[in-house]
């Protein structure tokens, strides 16, 4: 049994991580922004000084991609400085850190499925701040696993699946971009992977530190993803009318932040290193929709 600090414990991944840790018999310090501001180094150091923590799972993130274009300092504080301070504290305490990053680091004009060894690039503030977070962890911590996840959805928090259901209930037609392709990732198995990795990293013989892609399969474009979501919603009798999904291009959608056109990821490194499967995201849609 370990004492695990979960940052971002009220979010869609952090809340699942918290629940899974308790189910597996661990003790948890469930830290939301109201109880621990990871962008304040003195707050991070204080909690490490007052408690003997065995491992950290960082699910905290600024994820408002378009708003980040106007709130760069806030996004940087949470996505870059927060991981930096956690990494330093983990190194000082000689404990492992599991951190969730993003597929947005693969906005590099290369076609997917992307692999971890590629040259990285990102053209939006959100992606840049997450990339700084990765950099700071690798520079300041010895025992870390970073999981690059994509298009996360689950019953808790805000996500694309819930948004499509909400909009579908109010409209007869939705316009969704068709030139963004990636991998939807259910929050539950991602959270289970985070917990399992933290448990394995507590073993003194663990050697597989580093960065790994983690996502659901198969890949799909945003427009088709929306169609699948609404098809499932109709079968669950969550919609009382037919909703047409029309494809548009991202340049016509007018989003403020530039998103990757192709952020499909290869999970071969993750699955072969840890002998763990990645999920079929379609198997998790109904739980999210029925609890939305």
Work out the widest C-alpha separation in the chain, in whole angstroms: 57
Active site residues: 126
CB atoms within 10 A of CB 28: 18
User: Strands of 210-213's sheet, edge to edge?
Assistant: 27-31, 3-7, 55-58, 97-102, 144-149, 210-213
Tokens of 166: 């909400």
What's the CA gap between 153 and 157, in Å, rounded?
Answer: 8
How many Å is the Cα radius of gyration of the chain? 19
3 state SS of 199: helix
User: Is the peptide bond preceding residue 290 cis, with omega within 30 degrees of 0?
Assistant: no
What's the CA gap between 102 and 242, in Å, rounded?
Answer: 33
Tokens 């922004």 locate to: 33
């Amino acid at each position: 049994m370990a004492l695990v600090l979960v940052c971002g414990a009220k979010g869609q991944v952090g809340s699942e991580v918290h629940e899974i840790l308790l189910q597996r018999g661990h003790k948890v310090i469930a830290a939301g922004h109201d109880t621990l501001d990871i962008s304040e180094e003195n707050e991070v150091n204080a909690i490490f000084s007052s408690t003997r923590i065995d491992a950290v799972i960082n699910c905290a993130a600024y994820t408002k991609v378009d708003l980040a274009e106007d709130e760069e300092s806030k996004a940087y504080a949470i996505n870059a400085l927060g991981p930096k301070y956690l990494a330093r504290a983990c190194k000082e305490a000689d404990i492992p850190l599991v951190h969730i990053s993003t597929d947005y680091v693969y906005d590099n004009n290369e076609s997917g499925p992307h692999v971890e060894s590629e040259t990285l690039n990102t053209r939006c503030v959100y992606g840049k701040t997450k990339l700084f977070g990765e950099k700071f962890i690798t520079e300041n911590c010895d025992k870390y696993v970073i999981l690059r996840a994509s298009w996360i959805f689950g019953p808790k928090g805000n996500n694309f699946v819930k948004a499509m259901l909400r909009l579908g209930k109010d409209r007869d037609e939705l316009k969704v971009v068709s030139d963004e392709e990636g991998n939807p990732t259910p929050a539950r198995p991602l959270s289970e992977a985070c917990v399992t990795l933290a448990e394995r990293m507590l073993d003194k013989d663990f050697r597989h530190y580093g960065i790994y892609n983690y996502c659901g399969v198969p890949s799909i474009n945003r427009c088709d993803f929306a169609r699948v979501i609404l098809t499932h919603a109709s079968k669950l009798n969550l919609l009382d009318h037919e909703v047409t999904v029309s494809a548009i291009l991202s340049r016509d959608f007018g989003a403020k932040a530039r998103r990757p056109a192709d952020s499909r990821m290869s999970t071969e490194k993750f699955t072969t290193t840890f002998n763990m499967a990645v999920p079929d995201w379609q198997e998790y849609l109904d739980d999210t929709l029925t609890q939305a």
